[in-house]
């Protein structure tokens, strides 16, 4: 196999990479929103419990989380597929980071927004969903895109629990023939093709948020 063939071979693993990313998002987004909002609203013991939950998923190295879930859960009678375990470990880890972005965005909102909602007689839940969260989500878009890139790149580790993603395919090809330069350069290129547009999009969003902030400060 030469150049383009290797790249095509690696992209046969794209479906798994994309699926793990997708399922990972299904864990990450709800986890980030729920724990971020809870951490913002709770006080005392409840807040401590939420913080512990977030820190467990955020502070453990993601590779270790993956191995612990993969090897230890069956001992406790919980049997999950490699795909589920991979998505869960990656998703909850990224979700832990995301929760901090949600909390920070909620805290940085002008308190006048909530007061205005109260003055209009809205229920607290309505204030959260109709006033606070939409603004918070808009403010955290650049962070969100960066976390998404982290998730896509993170999926490379599922190759270590036998899922045939792009990295796993590359290692298979590397075993068939001795061509480390071709294989690993193509693998780099494959991730670059997938993630580079997202990186550029993240930069664009960051610039836009900065410009917005500058505009509002000058008024």
Q: Which of 62, 94, 127, 140 binds another protein (CB under 8 A)?
A: 62
Give the list of residues 6+ apart from residue 160 with CB closer than 8 angstroms, or none.
63, 66
- Whose Cβ is closer to another protein: residue 102's or residue 183's? 183
60 binds another protein (CB under 8 A): yes
204 binds another protein (CB under 8 A): no
153 binds another protein (CB under 8 A): yes
The region of 83-91, 107-115, 116-124, 193-201 touching another protein under the rule CB under 8 A is: 193-201
Q: Which of 63, 116, 130, 176 binds another protein (CB under 8 A)?
A: 63
Task: List the one residue out of 192, 42, 158, 26 whose CA is nearest residue 98.
Answer: 26
Residues 172-191 that bind another protein (CB under 8 A): 174, 180-181, 184-185, 187-188, 191
Helices 14-41 and 141-154: crossing angle, nearest 10°? 140
Q: Helix, strand, or coil here: 9?
A: helix
Q: Which of 160, 161, 205, 209 binds another protein (CB under 8 A)?
A: 160
167 binds another protein (CB under 8 A): yes
């Amino acid at each position: 196999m030469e150049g383009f063939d290797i790249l095509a071979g690696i992209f046969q693993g794209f479906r798994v990479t994309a699926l793990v990313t997708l399922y990972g998002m299904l864990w990450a987004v709800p986890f980030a929103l729920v724990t971020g909002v809870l951490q913002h609203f709770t006080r005392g013991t409840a807040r401590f419990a939420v913080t512990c939950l977030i820190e467990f998923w955020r502070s453990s190295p993601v590779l270790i989380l993956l191995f612990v879930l993969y090897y230890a859960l069956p001992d406790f009678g919980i049997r999950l597929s490699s795909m589920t375990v991979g998505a869960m470990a990656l998703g909850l880890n990224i979700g832990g980071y995301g929760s901090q972005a949600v909390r920070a965005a909620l805290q940085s909102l002008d308190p006048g927004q909530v007061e205005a909602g109260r003055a209009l007689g809205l229920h607290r839940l309505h204030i959260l969903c109709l006033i606070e969260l939409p603004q918070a989500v808009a403010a955290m878009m650049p962070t969100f895109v960066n976390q998404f890139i982290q998730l896509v790149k993170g999926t490379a580790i599922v190759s270590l629990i036998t899922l045939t993603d792009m990295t796993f395919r590359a290692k298979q090809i590397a075993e068939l023939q001795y061509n480390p330069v071709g294989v690993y350069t193509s693998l780099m290129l494959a991730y670059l093709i997938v993630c580079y547009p997202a990186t550029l999009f993240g930069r664009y969003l960051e610039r836009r948020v900065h410009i917005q902030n500058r505009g509002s400060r000058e008024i």
